[in-house]
Chains A and B, each alone.
Chain A
């Protein structure tokens, strides 16, 4: 059983489109995260939700909007995609901000 899953694994889209990435964890954790890893491999946190409440909201464009329908899901919606949004996006989960378990990543390519 996959602990943290993301869909889709690959996403190729054109500038200006709106897309969503879904994340689900079956670990019973109360905290979930979204990270962006760019071409230089820097791993930067974007958002964190604890018990469905937004805890961390780093400086990201407001085109990015996380949505947590329940503790097991944290989806990322991106409006008006730009070339600079191309990256690998990782979802992760943890219990009370302890060690994080990462998903396999979603490689987003904006053309």
Chain B
């Protein structure tokens, strides 16, 4: 099982770049790494997904080293509205049997200060 470990919480200031790292030492060959954002009283929202190296979209970047045992979500120039819980998820994109798992990390509570 590719369990994940993230910092429980982080604080940062508006305008800063925030990097949240997730460890997943037992990641399997067919596992993708996906990050979600969750605001209070809402369902998680997809941010970014990657398999290796670097992925960038309009809201974030995802850095994955060659050994894929960790990944770093990078949020550029955060604002107060980025205060949320961020989950790292490791799982296969083509699961076909019940041995494949979807395991959310415990999440990182990111608090952006003015």
Residues on A facing B (Cβ under 8 Å): 4, 33, 41-45, 48, 50, 55-57, 90, 92, 96-105
Residues of B within 8 A of A (CB): 32, 34, 36, 41-46, 49, 85, 87, 91-98, 100-104, 106-107
Q: Are A97 and B94 in contact (CB under 8 A)?
A: yes
Q: Which of B96, B97, B102, B104 has the most CB of A within 10 A?
A: B102
Q: How many pairs of A and B residues are in contact by the CB < 8 Å rule?
A: 61
Among residues of A, the one whose C-beta sits closest to the C-beta of B35 is A99
**Across the two chains, which residue of chain B brings its CB closest to A91?**
B43
Q: Tell me, in angstroms, the Cα distance from A100 to B48 when the chains sit together.
A: 11
Decide: A44 and B44 in contact? CB cutoff 8 A.
Answer: no
Interface of chain A: mostly helix, strand, loop or mixed:
strand
Give me 24 A-to-B residue pairs in the complex whose CB atoms sit less than 8 angstroms apart, sorted by A's number: A33-B102, A42-B104, A43-B44, A43-B87, A43-B107, A44-B104, A45-B102, A48-B95, A48-B102, A55-B95, A55-B96, A55-B100, A56-B100, A56-B102, A90-B43, A96-B93, A97-B93, A99-B34, A99-B46, A100-B36, A100-B46, A102-B43, A102-B45, A105-B43
Contact, CB under 8 Å: B98 / A42: no
Q: How far is the CB of A69 from chain B (nearest CB, A)?
A: 22
Neighbouring A residues of B87 by C-beta, 8 Å = 43
Q: Tell whether, in the assembled complex, residue B98 and residue A57 are in contact, meaning their CB atoms are under 8 Å apart.
A: yes
Since A41-B85, A45-B103, A98-B49 are in contact, a sample of 8 more A-B pairs with Cβ atoms closer than 8 Å, ordered by chain A residue number, is: A43-B87, A44-B104, A50-B95, A55-B100, A92-B44, A96-B93, A98-B93, A101-B46
